[in-house]
Amino acid sequence: MRHLKVIPLCVLSVGILAGCQKAGNGEVSRAFKDVNVVDESNLSDIMLTVADPNEAVNYFKRSTAENPDRIDLQRGLASSLVRAKRATEAVPVYEKILKLEGTNSEDRVDYADALIRAGDWKKAEKVLDGVPPTFETFKRYRLEAMVADSNKEWKKADSFYETAVGLTTRPSGVLNNWGYSKLTRGDYKDAERLFSDAIRQDTALFTAKNNMVLARGAQRNYNLPVIPMSQTERAQLLHTLGLSAIKQGDVETGKGLLREAVNTHPQHFEAAVRSLRALEANVTN
């Protein structure tokens, strides 16, 4: 009989223990859910910054398939597509973002950026026109300047470029774009000044160095500027300057610059050799 009395107590103990275990599982599940949210946020940040762009696209495609209404994941997908140079695919994602709850002016600016990269300048202009004037960011004004440039609205472009430069601590890229705008207008001195400013901000920006040489060549100034450059960069800039001289009709000067480029390059400079051979063959003929 004593055994019979003990059995219900054991059953009761097991029941209590099972009840505790269920409660514990619930707490553990909630804890893991919180951890997963933190991990997901960190992983999204990693994917948007250091991950391979196409890997990031695959990650956000999986995530948005599971959570199509999560605007943060849709933004991640669109941004990753732009980073992967797949702007045409990013455009419809931004269009979806603009229909979700929580969309803002930054999303519209990013949408305009994707449209420009995809070559749809007219639509990008309309999207930017819809952004409130109180939303003042570097990216917004850089895009506004580019659109004004495409429309040959030079005064507007200059105003937007100037504003954009004042809104960033890293203005080298926009200074280079502004200089190229001046170069296409034939304002070579201003273009050279802006390229010089861009190089001063970022001495590794070879595009600005090459553009500066183009601006000098257009003024028939065939001396390399006094700027930081490696031996390889020097050879490449001499090549650009030589071609510029030939374009101006200063053929002998151009040939001399091409020979100097070949001799300066630390390795075989095929592009300069080919240009020089073509020029000499043309002169012989």
Residue 17 has pLDDT above 80, yes or no: no
Give the residue extent of every domain in the chain.
43-103, 230-285
Mean pLDDT, to the nearest integer, of 154-163?
97
Q: Is the confidence at residue 222, as pLDDT, over 50?
A: yes
C-alpha triplet 28, 34, 37: angle, nearest 5°: 140
* pLDDT tens for each residue of 261-272: 999 999 999 999
How high does pLDDT run on average in the chain?
Answer: 87
pLDDT tens-digit series, residues 173-212: 999 999 999 999 999 999 999 999 999 999 999 999 999 9
Taking 90 as the threshold, does the pLDDT of residue 281 lie above it? no
Q: Place 227 in a pLDDT band, splitting at 50, 70 and 90.
A: very high
Phi, psi (deg, nearest 5) at residue 15:
-65, -45
Looking at residue 45, its pLDDT comes to 81
Predicted confidence (pLDDT) per residue in 91-142, tens digit: 999 999 999 999 999 999 999 999 999 999 999 999 999 999 999 999 999 9
What's at 80, amino acid-wise?
S
Nearest-angstrom CA–CA distance, 67 and 74: 9
| CA distance linking residue 111 with residue 92, whole number of Å | 9
Predicted local distance difference test score (pLDDT) of residue 63: 93
pLDDT of residue 145: 98
